[in-house]
């Protein structure tokens, strides 16, 4: 249909005045006008466009035109709403609304043709005047059901400023007011639906899905929005397939095969209802393995689809169901005589009851009853999109009311003689509630987005029903938008949420490592490295524990590292402590023996005063090793090293004094040598005190400058903390140890020189052996001390103290005690003075 503008060469000349006027134009229709399937006259006409017929792809590879009973219900619901409005005294009183409802046959070219006709009217010459861009009698239109036809219609009708209110076109692209300024809808945009579907998939923990969509504006735009939302939610898509109902059968079969062979258990189908029928028919030939279907609102509430049993358990979002009083009676108020006047209703009646109202072999006999008919046309238990049609008609009526009516003295008065132009119908300003449902539009012509969550549940009688199990409200805060309030039946009638993941969740103690050339949902679970944990499932990274903590065996929590030190409860500590106490007791017993025999030559001949002082120092040496056992503290750290250093110097000083006494004693036996008067008891005491005082001074300087202190050693072991005494000043420690070594070497040299002096009991020999053991112990101590880890460093130090102490007491005093106790005959001055 085209428009031809005709005018004569002199049409613009006023012959009476001789002045040029605006040319008179005549707009005429070219082609045959398309007749509406339903129409009624009125003061103002509302257009309607519905996909009442559709092309059905069949297995014999051709197409047939079938009636979509649900779309017929939509169109009849519009008629019901308009007739209801005409009866209301408070809405457009004294004004009658008419309608012209067309069938677009789910075809874009037909929808375009209808859009031109709604804009122009049906008269062959529909306008005479100076402007051919004005519209015909239709002031607004309801429809179309599909997004692609609605886009084409809006571009045409928008040129004439004719408002278009769609009940089912959900493409997010129609929200662009720059391109579609006169487009409104009572159904939420696909942007909201896509977000809802992505959140629904995430809500049930599915991260590995397949995606199928219509190859149309509805499917392409909706799937693009869904994929963006799914990406934000961390959902991966195994495959994406698209098709249109008129595509070749090979393409439909390819889409079906992709669903059959996929590993994803969940299939998100953003598909128009007519396209879904084609795919389900193809899948029915060879039903796929169990799949959890997630449906867009276009098909998930279509009762025609529930006959495909392999889709049982499907869930999706749907327009909230509603109740429209009187609608069911209106829809069922058809009889054979009543439908005969309408070609469309006649076709519907004959198709529904499989009989003919015209002359044929199977003539309808008049017993047909719509009330007993199970058909989408009569299915009014869940009015969802139907309510969108109902609200669309009321929205236009309220816009008319605002433009034509005024409140005068409390009475609504409307002027039907006002020449109403299409651009005067202001739908953006409407705000009303009808039948308990609020209707308003935002700046983009959108309603408030709210959906129900529906589930296909198979009942005991074998029938599958669409059941509401929850809701989604986009206006609520994040995390509160979904609410599931009923049990869901999943695929194959299961009650447990099916699992659809590329990789199983990584447990705590592991981290995800993405697999090469695969989506982010496909990964391997790698244990956390040493010292690190992950305390949540599917953790992308492991993080280290604090310095004083260490992971448990599962590596999912950090616990304080165990403290290691040489405690009194350990077997090693008990053994060392036992030797320490035993050594001290041995020294005490030795002192008691010597004291008891203090008058004997054996005791008196070897400087009993230094002997007792030496035994006293050995007792301290044995007991000071106990300070190394137990948890280090500030006082114990200072005590253990200084006590060890001073007592050992005292011990070595006594030994050194005894060695010098032996040398001086033999020198004094020479004629004319009176050296003993220079090294008598006072000098011996002074020697011991002097040597010990030097060590005391060294220890004091060490404690003042940088004393030992308790420290947590975190480097020796990763998994535990070693409590130890830090040296503070290493110079101080090695100065103490070096001074002891210097005295020991000096004593060893002197004793070695005196070892061959003639005497039956030469104490210098015993001192030589003791110093030899002492030096050997402490020379081997140095590498052992440096290389021993943790508490074994302390154990090595205790062992060195005990070994050197036992070496001294056994080598010096054991022979004496043996003679005193077991060989008393040798404990005589004669024997000792006998020089052999």
Sign of CA dihedral 554, 559, 564, 569: negative
Over 90: is that where the pLDDT of 585 sits? yes
Query: What is d(CA 591, CA 482) in angstroms, rounded to the nearest whole number?
Result: 90
Question: Based on the structure, what is the number of domains in the chain?
Answer: 4
pLDDT in tens, 766-815: 777 888 888 888 788 778 877 877 788 888 888 888 988 898 888 888 88
Residue that terminates a domain, selected from 403, 421, 440: 440
Asked if residue 664 and residue 526 are part of one domain, the reply reads no
Confidence class for position 24, pLDDT limits 50, 70, 90: low
Over 90: is that where the pLDDT of 686 sits? no
Residue 678: predicted pLDDT: 57
Residue 60: predicted pLDDT: 42
Residue 762: predicted pLDDT: 60
CA distances to 95, 98, 158, 350 from 398, in Å: 12, 15, 20, 38
pLDDT in tens, 324-368: 999 999 999 988 888 888 999 999 998 888 888 877 667 888 788
pLDDT in tens, 429-446: 899 988 888 899 988 889
* Half-sphere exposure in the Cβ direction for 618 (13 Å, CA): 32
What tokens appear for 368 in the block? Answer: 């047909």
Structural domain includes residue 692:
yes
Structural domain includes residue 20:
no
Asked if residue 226 and residue 308 are part of one domain, the reply reads yes
pLDDT in tens, 3-13: 433 333 333 33
Asked if residue 422 and residue 453 are part of one domain, the reply reads no
What tokens appear for 158 in the block? Answer: 């928008």
Over 70: is that where the pLDDT of 59 sits? no
Structural domain includes residue 57:
yes
Structural domain includes residue 364:
no
Asked if residue 638 and residue 526 are part of one domain, the reply reads no
Residue 392: predicted pLDDT: 95
Residue 526: predicted pLDDT: 93
Confidence class for position 220, pLDDT limits 50, 70, 90: very high
Over 80: is that where the pLDDT of 659 sits? no
Asked if residue 280 and residue 395 are part of one domain, the reply reads no
Residue 377: predicted pLDDT: 92
Point out the least confidently predicted range of 305-319, 423-437, 532-546: 423-437
Residue that terminates a domain, selected from 415, 440, 465: 440
Query: What phi and psi, each to the nearest 5 degrees, are found at residue 640?
Result: -65, -40
Query: What is d(CA 797, CA 538) in angstroms, rounded to the nearest whole number?
Result: 50
pLDDT in tens, 613-633: 888 988 998 998 888 888 888
Specify the higher pLDDT residue, 668 or 489.
489
Percent of all residues in the chain with a pLDDT value above 70, rounded to a whole number: 88
Asked if residue 577 and residue 477 are part of one domain, the reply reads no
Query: What domain range includes position 750?
Result: 571-834
Average pLDDT on 137-150 reads: 90
Structural domain includes residue 554:
yes
pLDDT in tens, 381-408: 888 899 999 999 999 999 999 999 988 8
The 3-class secondary structure across 132-191, one letter per residue, is: CCCCCCEEEEECCCCHHHHHHHHHHHHCCCCCEEECCCCCHHHHCCCCCCCEEECCCCHH
Asked if residue 175 and residue 84 are part of one domain, the reply reads yes
Asked if residue 463 and residue 413 are part of one domain, the reply reads no
Over 80: is that where the pLDDT of 654 sits? yes
Residue 677: predicted pLDDT: 56
Residue that terminates a domain, selected from 560, 589, 618: 560
Over 60: is that where the pLDDT of 93 sits? yes
Over 80: is that where the pLDDT of 763 sits? no
CATH number at residue 464: 3.40.50.2300
Asked if residue 525 and residue 385 are part of one domain, the reply reads no
What tokens appear for 44 in the block? Answer: 């103002």
Structural domain includes residue 754:
yes
Structural domain includes residue 19:
no
Residue 510: predicted pLDDT: 93
Asked if residue 708 and residue 809 are part of one domain, the reply reads yes
Residue 91: predicted pLDDT: 92
Asked if residue 622 and residue 538 are part of one domain, the reply reads no
Do residues 196 and 317 make contact, with C-beta atoms less than 8 angstroms apart? yes
As a whole number, the mean pLDDT across the chain is 84
Asked if residue 456 and residue 436 are part of one domain, the reply reads no
pLDDT in tens, 158-168: 888 899 999 99
The 3-class secondary structure across 711-767, one letter per residue, is: EEECCCCCCCEEEEEECCCHHHHHHHHHHHHHHHHHHHHHHHHCCCCCCCCCHHHHH
Structural domain includes residue 743:
yes
């Amino acid at each position: 249909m085209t428009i031809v503008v005709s005018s004569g060469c002199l049409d613009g000349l006023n012959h009476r005045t001789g002045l040029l006027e605006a040319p008179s134009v005549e707009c005429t229709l070219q082609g045959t006008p398309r007749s509406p399937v339903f129409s009624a006259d009125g003061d103002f006409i509302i257009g309607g466009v519905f996909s009442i017929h559709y092309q059905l792809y069949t297995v014999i590879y051709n197409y047939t035109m079938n009636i979509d009973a649900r779309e017929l219900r939509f169109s009849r619901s519009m008629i019901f709403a308009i007739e209801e409005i005409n009866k209301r005294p408070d809405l457009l009183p004294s004004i009658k609304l008419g309608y012209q409802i067309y069938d677009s046959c789910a075809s874009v070219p037909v929808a375009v043709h209808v859009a031109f006709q709604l804009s122009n009217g049906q008269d062959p010459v529909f306008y005479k005047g100076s402007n051919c861009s004005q519209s015909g009698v239709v002031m607004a239109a309801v429809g179309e059901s599909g997004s692609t036809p609605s886009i084409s219609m809006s571009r045409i009708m928008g040129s004439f400023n004719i408002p278009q209110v769609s009940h089912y076109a959900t493409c997010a692209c129609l929200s662009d007011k720059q391109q579609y300024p006169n487009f409104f809808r009572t159904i939420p945009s696909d942007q909201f639906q896509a977000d809802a579907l992505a959140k629904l998939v995430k809500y049930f923990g599915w991260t590995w899905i397949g995606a199928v969509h219509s190859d149309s504006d509805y499917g392409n735009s909706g799937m693009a929005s869904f994929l963006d939302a799914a990406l934000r939610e961390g959902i991966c898509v195994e495959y994406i397939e698209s098709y249109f109902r008129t595509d070749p059968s090979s393409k439909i079969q390819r889409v079906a095969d992709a669903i059959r062979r996929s590993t994803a258990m969940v299939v998100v189908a953003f598909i128009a209802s007519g396209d879904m029928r084609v795919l389900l028919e193809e899948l029915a030939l060879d039903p796929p393995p169990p799949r959890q279907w997630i449906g867009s609102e276009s098909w998930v509430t279509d009762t025609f689809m529930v006959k495909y049993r392999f889709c049982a358990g499907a869930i999706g979002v749907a327009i909230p169901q509603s109740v429209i009083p009187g609608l069911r009676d209106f829809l069922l108020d058809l009889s054979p005589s009543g439908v005969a006047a309408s070609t469309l209703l006649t076709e519907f009646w004959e198709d529904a009851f499989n009989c003919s109202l015209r002359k044929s072999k199977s003539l309808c006999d008049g017993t047909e009853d719509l009330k007993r008919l199970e058909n989408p046309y009569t299915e009014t238990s869940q009015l969802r999109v139907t309510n969108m049609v109902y609200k669309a008609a009321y929205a236009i009526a309220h816009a008319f009311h605002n433009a034509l009516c005024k409140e005068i003295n409390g009475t609504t008065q409307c002027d039907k003689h006002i020449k109403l132009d299409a651009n005067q119908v202001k739908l953006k300003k409407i705000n009303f509630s009808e039948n308990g449902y609020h209707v308003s539009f935002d700046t983009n012509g959108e309603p408030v987005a709210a959906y129900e969550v529906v589930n296909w549940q198979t009942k005991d009688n074998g029938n599958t029903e669409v059941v509401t199990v929850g809701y989604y409200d986009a206006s609520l805060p994040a995390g509160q938008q979904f609410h599931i309030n009923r049990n869901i039946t999943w695929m194959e009638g299961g009650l447990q949420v099916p699992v659809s993941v590329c990789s199983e969740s990584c447990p705590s103690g592991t981290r995800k490592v993405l697999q090469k050339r695969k989506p982010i949902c496909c990964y391997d679970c790698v244990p956390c490295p040493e010292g690190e944990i992950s305390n949540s499932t599917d953790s992308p990274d492991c993080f280290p524990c604090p310095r004083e903590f260490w992971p448990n065996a599962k590596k999912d929590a950090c616990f304080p590292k165990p403290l290691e030190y040489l405690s009194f409860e350990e077997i090693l500590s008990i053994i060392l402590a036992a030797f320490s106490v035993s050594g001290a007791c041995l020294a005490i017993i030795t002192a008691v023996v010597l004291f008891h025999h203090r008058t004997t030559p054996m005791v008196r001949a070897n400087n009993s005063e230094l002997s007792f002082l030496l035994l006293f120092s050995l007792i301290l040496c044995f007991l000071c090793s106990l300070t190394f056992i137990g948890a280090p503290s500030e006082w114990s750290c200072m005590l253990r090293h200084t006590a060890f250093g001073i007592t050992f110097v005292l011990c070595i000083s006594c030994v050194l004094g005894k060695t010098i006494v032996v040398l001086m004693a033999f020198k004094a036996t020479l004629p004319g040598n009176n050296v003993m008067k220079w090294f008598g008891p006072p000098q011996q005491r002074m020697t011991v005190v002097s040597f010990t005082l030097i060590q005391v001074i060294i220890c004091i300087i060490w404690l003042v400058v940088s004393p030992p202190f308790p420290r947590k050693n975190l480097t020796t072991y990763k998994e535990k903390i070693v409590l130890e005494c830090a040296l503070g000043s290493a110079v101080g420690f090695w100065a103490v140890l070096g001074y002891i070594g210097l005295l020991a070497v000096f004593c060893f040299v002197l004793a070695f020189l005196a070892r061959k002096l003639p005497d039956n009991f030469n104490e210098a020999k015993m001192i030589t052996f003791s110093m030899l053991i002492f030096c050997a112990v402490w020379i081997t101590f140095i590498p052992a001390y440096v290389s021993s880890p943790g508490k074994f460093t302390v154990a090595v130090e205790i062992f060195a103290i005990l070994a050197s102490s036992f070496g001294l007491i056994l080598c010096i005093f054991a022979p004496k005690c043996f003679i005193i106790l077991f060989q008393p005959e040798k404990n005589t001055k004669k024997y000792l003075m006998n020089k052999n």
